[in-house]
Amino acid sequence: MSHPEHAPASRPAAPAEAAAPAPLDLRETGGAKDGVPQKSNRRLYMQLTAFGGCRDPHKLAGALSGSGVDCVLYEDLNDPTGVGVLAMTEDPALLVGQFRRDLCSGQFAGLTVKPHFAMLGRTYALGYEPKLEDWLVHRPRRVVLDAAWPWAIWYPLRRTGSFARLPRAEQMQALKEHGNIGRQFGDIGAAMDIRLACHGLDVNDNDFVIGVLGKELAPLSQLIETMRPTVQTSQYIQNLGPFFVGRAFWRTPFKEAA
């Protein structure tokens, strides 16, 4: 009769093999279409560059017309000799090609760059957009190139780290609160917004670039004011601004992108 102390020791169970991580998918994801989430690798890069010392913006418009990227030339409301150039392209390499050289030569050569207004971001999706590629590529161009919407306020922002640690449901509720306010202004034609991600693209480590555009300036200011008491702005914004306020002087003629 064997005794328990003489029984062979049981072997520990072999650890279950860890499941292989899912392949990394860097595409933007939108709402489902025919039951399948929309996916896209397309996105629009938008860059704002501000200058001082411009006394005749007509000459700058001529220089931008052959730049090879869609542009808007703004007159800076807060600087009588200030201008801003908003450039848009799906290929960020174009921004450091001929377009970069255009901003350093010709009519731009005598201007002073304002680095504190530099903004660069990319369009992104939250996962519910019903027309994904329109949201990522076409809608932003339509809004900023629309001659009926000359006023614009552009600004960067950074959320606190605590927002990123919130449960997804709480994050989406805070974003929904913002979205509902923006939709109210949009439904009456008072303001439209452009939201860009700039993680790692901003010298000041901001997370997003926001553009608020409209036919008149007052509703844009009122929209930003209305956002102030929201959960996201009042509790989870670390930095906001600086604000570039401009009125479009010239635009690339709008053509629907392919």
> What pLDDT score was predicted for residue 187?
94
Q: Please report where in the chains the tokens 């001929």 appear, as a residue.
A: 98
Residue 76 located in a structural domain: yes
Give the torsion through C-alpha atoms of 195, 198, 199, 203, to 10 deg. -140
pLDDT score recorded for residue 14: 57
The count of structural domains within the chain is 1
Task: Let me know if residue 163 belongs to a domain.
Answer: yes
How many whole angstroms separate alpha carbon 164 and alpha carbon 226? 23
pLDDT at 17: 64
| DSSP codes of every residue in 120-145 | EEEE---S--SSHHIIIIIHHHHHHT
* 198 within domain boundaries: yes
What pLDDT was estimated at residue 253? 86
Q: Within a domain: residue 192?
A: yes
Q: Name the amino acid, one letter, at 23.
A: P
Residues 92-136 have pLDDT tens digits of 999 999 899 999 999 999 999 999 999 999 999 988 899 999 999
Give the pLDDT of residue 66: 79
Residue 7 resides in a domain: no
Two tokens at 37?
A: 């989430």
pLDDT at 257: 60
pLDDT one-digit tens code per residue, 158-176 = 999 998 898 989 988 988 8
Indicate whether 153 belongs to any domain.
yes
Q: Provide the residue count of the chain.
A: 258
CATH number (domain holding residue 152): 3.30.70.1030
Low-confidence stretches of the chain (pLDDT < 50) are 1-7
pLDDT at 4: 44
Distance CA 26, CA 122 (A): 13
**Predicted pLDDT at 179:** 86
**Cβ distance 238 to 159 under 8 Å?**
yes
SS3 for 28-62 is EEEEEECCEEEEECCCCEEEEEEEECCCCHHHHHH
Q: Which domain holds residue 64?
A: 43-251
pLDDT at 16: 59
Examine residue 21 and state whether it is found in any structural domain, yes or no.
no
Q: What pLDDT does residue 172 have?
A: 87
Q: What are phi and psi of 55, to 5 degrees?
A: -110, -5
Indicate whether 54 belongs to any domain: yes
pTM above 0.75, yes or no: yes
